Chain A
């Protein structure tokens, strides 16, 4: 099947670096939106409405296919509370992308479409020998949603829509070192690798446009629990004496991909200028612990006694994201965009982990589109994401019972250039 092979290609490419929203959320779903601070719930810009607000899809005039690709380029500095060198990530550029196809009658009241996007993802590879190696050496988390969508205009001013979200491809690969030393003093390591089961959720929205100058939207994406069963556990570098304590070969784990509620406003003072304001509310509080259940015993990291599970506190808070962005049509072919985002981190003080070294973030965005004739156009966008410097002390870890991670200071900056191709029919 052609669609399935496309997905597989996507799977190889699609990951975010938790670049454009808190936690491991990735909101790079539309290239026009990316240039406008990620607004879109109160707008009906293009086919990406399927992600931002399915209710707005029926108000999108064009039908067509669009494809967007982003490159997330993350740079990070880390200094351990009791380490002497600055650690930097082994640089990885990831390429989240999105694909939309929208159909419907020219003058009809409905639109239908299919969307493929990556609402969550995370990829980090820490420097060899870094102080946090026993918490994490690398992570690669992928989630690809496929969403058949239907939208209906109830009146000229009001439309509704919904999509069936399918977690079509989800995977996790997590690696860290095991603090057990062989006769040379070398540490072992563990790799957890698994695929998530296919699961369903939904995305629904309402779009209301009382006048030419104003539009309002609200949308909801439900939570999906990414559930890994019988993932592979691989230990390497353990000596014979140590290996007896680490027998597991399979693991189960569940990671919540949380629900998001969004409201948005669109303001169109004139035909050329569009301004959007969005607020997203992400129910990160669903992420309480990261638990792995093993088929056979491993050595408990705290007591050294045999155990068949490991559990690590996350205790995320629900989080808000505030977005503002605008576009201006300079000529009949050229449109330029700019925007900004303030993103509240769901990670509480004392709970910061190397796999999501999150912090409140401020993002600035730029974008432009150019039309080549009636049917074809190109979108360009760039996001500059600045995570606040964040420190977690050993005392914080002790106070919260989270000593399974490393104390230190993280500072991360991300740049996300992107390009989109649109073909309307």
Chain B
């Protein structure tokens, strides 16, 4: 009996050992709540289109936040989501910037991958972008401002080349508003994120463009009216949706990358200050468009106010030398004929034999600086745009995604996703793409997750977030 017990119990115990069965955790249930995601459309600008690395190209389009949202909506009754993608054989789209390496000083070395979908400046192929004529769910148009939405002919060569490619050939004067109205007729859910470009154009031009103006509470009638019309037409059939505010653009890497490095260099070389050009008014060394600043006034983590743009990176390296190169670059970017360069220098009283950036005769160009006065203009406009959007979203009982508050938090604390810390710094922050303004695929995933949070909170849905780490940040070759 005793040995048979052992014979029986040994296999029995072995079986018990194998019985370490795999635990199961129930998959979370995904419910649409009181929302209806069956036809979702997205309204917006470059950020919505998936523009990244200073271009619109297939990879960016495929990882746009609306496409990520649509993918998560599909588990809660969401339907097909059509984006005006560039075809695979024209995947480079408008062309884009690519990182090659980071040099010994820590500066990125980049190259431009030329576009292959048309409208290629400088190349023989200046034909319109490859057309997209089907109904579209993602109506993100790079470059569009709120004030452009009712401009007839915006979808033409004179208007916006990205809108041109989706504007019907039979109705070339169709406005963005009219297109939204057509698509909204069958939409059940929407996100809208317009308004950034109404202030961004002024800011990225360093406040130096006479044509880039910003809306404000005292002068605006256009922004508030057009924004209301867009929301009216989106909600006309009872669709629910998300209204996004615009971020404080002075917190993006485009403005926060060059200044700190420049400041450190000037301090190391005992340069006490600089002379900037400000605004866009003509005038020479003794006029109000010259602005002397102390080196300590350049903004970095320790303080200071003046912001330098990413575009001014090369010019910042030439400070203290007798050079006219930065002015040639500024003039070239204006698109005016080369013959006018001499007159341009005369208009602004620039002497390129004087030391660049530290003398009133050869100041640091306004186009590369967003100074404290210009920042105040940007802040006023941003506040006005956002209070308008908040008021209008509340009046329609829509979800508000306060991008401005969100990015202010990210700038302060970074944004952790599954053990990875992303932040708003250039390249190593992984949220902003190489242009310092638009988002990486991971940045888009982060935005999609944040939108999912506010949608769930408002409509009682249980949409799942994505793992942002499965979307790329900046690739380091």
Instruction: Give Cα A84–Cα B466 distance, bound, in whole angstroms.
Output: 8
Give the residue of B27, B428, B449 whose beta carbon is less than 8 angstroms from that of A82. Answer: B449
Indicate which residue in A73, A241, A302, A417 contacts B13 across the interface (CB closer than 8 Å). A417
User: Does A134 lie at the interface of the complex (its beta carbon under 8 Å from any beta carbon of B)?
Assistant: yes
B22 touches A304 (CB 8 A): no
Of residues 6 to 52 in B, which have CB atoms within 8 Å of A's CB atoms? 6, 9-10, 13-14, 16-25, 27-28
Residues of B within 8 A of A382 (CB): 13, 16-17
A304 & B423 in contact (Cβ 8 Å cutoff): yes
Interface pair A302/B418, CB less than 8 Å apart: no
CB contacts (< 8 Å) of B466 on chain A: these are 82
A179 touches B23 (CB 8 A): no
| Residue in contact with B423 in the complex, picked from A83, A184, A303, A398, CB distance below 8 Å | A303
Known: A303-B423, A411-B23, A411-B25. A134 touches B469 (CB 8 A): yes
Query: What distance in Å separates the Cβ of A239 from its nearest Cβ neighbour in chain B?
Result: 5
Q: With the chains together, A326 CA to B22 CA distance in Å? A: 29
**Pair A240/B474 contact, Cβ less than 8 Å:** no
A407 touches B102 (CB 8 A): no
- Within 8 Å of chain A (Cβ to Cβ): is B62? no
Main secondary structure of the interface of A (DSSP, over half): mixed
* A404 with B477: CB separation less than 8 A: no
Complex Cα gap A82–B30 (Å): 12
Among A82, A180, A240, A398, contact of B467 (Cβ-Cβ < 8 Å) = A82
Docked complex Cα distance between A79 and B17 (Å): 25
Task: State whether A75 touches B22 (Cβ < 8 A).
Answer: yes
Which of B23, B27, B421, B476 lies in contact with A180, CB distance below 8 A?
A: B476
Contact B25 A86 (CB under 8 A): yes
Give the bracket for the number of chain A residues in contact with chain B: 35 or more
| B10 and A134 within 8 A (CB) | no
A167-202 at interface with B (beta carbon < 8 Å):
179-185
Task: Using known A-B contacts A71-B17, A131-B467, determine if residue A77 contacts B477 with beta carbons closer than 8 Å.
Answer: no
Known contacts: A244-B102, A370-B2, A403-B419. The answer to whether A380 contacts B9 by CB under 8 A is yes
* A334 contacts B by Cβ under 8 Å: yes
Q: Point out the residues of chain B lying under 8 angstroms from A414, CB to CB.
A: 20
Q: What are the interface flags for A204-220 relative to B under an 8 Å C-beta threshold, 1 for contact and 0 otherwise? A: 00000000000000000
Indicate if the CB atoms of B17 and A415 lie closer than 8 Å.
yes
Distance in angstroms between the alpha carbons of A86 and B420 in the assembled complex? 20
Pairwise interchain contact B20-A181, C-beta atoms closer than 8 A: no
The residue among B2, B5, B418 with the most chain A CB atoms within 10 A of its own CB is B418
What separation, in Å, do the CA atoms of A74 and B101 have in the docked complex?
Answer: 45
In this complex, the member of B23, B102, B464 whose beta carbon has the largest number of chain A beta carbons within 10 angstroms is B23
Asked if A413 is at the interface (CB within 8 A of a chain B CB), the reply is yes
B-facing mask of A75-91, CB < 8 A → 1, else 0?
11111111110101000
Residue of A nearest to B106 (CB): A244
**CB distance A397 to B20 under 8 Å?**
no
What CA separation (Å) do A76 and B18 show in the bound complex? Answer: 14
User: Quick one: closest A residue to B100, CB to CB?
Assistant: A241
A131 to B416 Cα, complex, angstroms: 13
- Asked whether A134 lies within 8 Å of B423 as measured between CB atoms, the reply is no
Contact with B along A282-304 (1 / 0, CB 8 A): 00000000000000000101111
Instruction: Give A370-425 interface residues, CB cut-off 8 Å to B.
Output: 370, 378, 380, 382, 384, 389, 394, 397-398, 403-407, 409, 411-417
Contacting residues, chain A, for B13 (C-beta < 8 A): 366, 380, 382, 417
Residues of B within 8 A of A350 (CB): none
Pair A183/B475 contact, Cβ less than 8 Å: yes
- Distance in angstroms from A172 CB to nearest chain B CB is 19
CB-nearest residue of chain B to A238: B476
Complex CA distance for A76 and B20, rounded to whole angstroms: 10
Query: Contacts A242-B476, A389-B25 given: A179-B469 contact, CB under 8 Å?
Result: yes
CB pair B425–A179 under 8 Å, yes or no, is no
B residues within 8 Å of A by Cβ? 2, 5-6, 9-10, 13-14, 16-25, 27-28, 99, 101-102, 414, 416-421, 423, 425, 428-430, 449, 464-469, 472-477
Q: Which residues of A contact B (CB under 8 A)?
A: 71, 73-84, 86, 88, 131-135, 179-185, 239-242, 244, 299, 301-304, 331, 333-334, 366, 368, 370, 378, 380, 382, 384, 389, 394, 397-398, 403-407, 409, 411-417
Known: A82-B464, A86-B25, A370-B6. 9 other contacts (CB 8 A): A75-B23, A88-B22, A182-B475, A301-B421, A366-B16, A398-B416, A403-B419, A412-B23, A417-B14
Give 9 CB contacts A-B under 8 Å.
A73-B20, A82-B465, A82-B466, A83-B467, A86-B25, A133-B469, A241-B476, A244-B102, A404-B421
